Amino acid sequence: MDPTTIPADDPTDAMDLDIPEERRLGRTSPRAMARIRLDLDWESSIARHRDTYVATRLNLWRDILPPALEADLMDRPCGHRAEHAFQPGELIPAWQPRLAVELRGRQFNRRFTGRGDIQPRLGRYYPRGIFEGVDGIFQQDRHPCRIIALDGEQIAVDLNHPLAGRPLHLAATIEAIWSQGDERGGRCNEVAELVTANGPGMQTRWRDLATDFWSDHPFFRRDERPDAGFYGEARLVDHIDRTAIAGISGLYRRLIPAGARILDLMSSWHSHLPEDPAPAAVTGLGMNADEMAENPVLTERIVHDLNTEPTLPFADGAFDAVVCTVSVEYLTRPFEVFREVARVLRPGGLFVVTFSNRWFPPKAILLWEGIHEWERPGLVLEYLLGSGGFAELETWSLRGLPRPADDKYADRLALSDPVYAVWGRRV
């Protein structure tokens, strides 16, 4: 895989960082600090993946870099990029057969959350603590594990890291170097864990086995009243912070060519499209006319309820690109909508779906709420595959950046909202 073909973003442009830069990276002082972007590239049977983690305050005296990268980072200036291909077992522990365990169905605690009966589903992830009577696992263990086989009263569970067994490519880019005050101890970080822990690998199938997302009434919602009433009042608010918005805009800038005819699906008062390169036209299709009237990039505005009528009111091949920003979780007929998106795209046209971990709970589908945050890109991949109109599928994630100091959640959340993106091209 050539990782340079997967667009990376530089959302740090939106950050107010007053950092005096030194000339080169080094471990000569416990005060030496750096901001380094880590890009983890890997492939699955259905897509290519990049997971980006921006380590904003690495302590160069204390934190541990992978030796294969450290040799090419030390004594290097800002802007330098080091990269290395890791074989399975080199960056994270190798896949171990002993961690694929067979359990009895009664060991799956269906009352684990205390909010109703949970059923085990093939290919899905669950906290390890949901399994009872397993050596080394306690009820408080929230590390994810995957069900890889269901046969009557038998359950097979994979306790390996979700990326175990895969070749990985890791790149590190030096974005800033500076000195801070006196060193007063602190945590020692394994830099590789920053980008590989807590999710990467979960956004695809297990060994070509389709994940069972479709049981348990996945497209029901807490509030099944008509959407027109819920969205009748204009809500001129952004649902993610400015840094996450910059990350999404940067991705759109890299993926969508200049002069494109763009459909902003499920549009509102902000499209999060970049000003440059300029599109030829942007059509907004959303639920509230007043919200879209406030959106200055839209050249056409159409009120349309996709959950009532998934057919798009456009001709075949009308658009070069379609974007759906922080809204896919509200679709109750996603396969029909995605098939329509394929129809209105020109051959080779791009469909990009971006989202985070915040939404309106009453109108999000129950499946979205019930799965792990990192399974959601996998769900959108299944939408693209199931619609039959897309190829060249890719995913991207962005984590680690600090939340803007003036954000309303800054006193409770240190990090910016994560960004997840899934895209494909019209066959």
Hey, where are the domains in the chain?
3-92+166-196, 97-158, 227-426
Per-residue pLDDT at 186: 64
Which parts of the chain have pLDDT scores under 70? 1-23, 28, 30, 181-186
Per-residue pLDDT at 287: 95
**Could you please report the per-residue DSSP string of 328-365?**
GGG-SSHHHHHHHHHHHEEEEEEEEEEE-S---TTTSB
What's the token pair of residue 254? 């890299």
- Residue 378 CB-half CA count within 13 A: 27
What's the token pair of residue 421? 């993106």
Tell me whether the CATH fold assigned to 3-92+166-196 matches the one assigned to 227-426: no
Distance between CA atoms of residues 29 and 239, nearest Å: 41
User: Does 3.10.50 match the CATH number of domain 3-92+166-196?
Assistant: yes
Distance between CA atoms of residues 385 and 153, nearest Å: 31
How far does Cα 12 stand from its chain's mean position?
17
Per-residue pLDDT at 115: 72
Q: Which residue has the tokens 């009434």?
A: 217
Per-residue pLDDT at 18: 43
C-beta atoms surrounding 68 within 10 Å: 15
Distance between CA atoms of residues 286 and 270, nearest Å: 11
Per-residue pLDDT at 27: 73
Residues contacting residue 85 through CB under 8 Å, at least 6 positions apart: 167, 168, 169
Span 227-426 CATH architecture: 3-Layer(aba) Sandwich (3.40)
Cis link prior to 310 (omega < 30° from 0)? Answer: no
Residue of 35, 380, 398, 402 lying closest to 195 (CA atoms):
398
Per-residue pLDDT at 185: 58
Distance between CA atoms of residues 151 and 149, nearest Å: 7
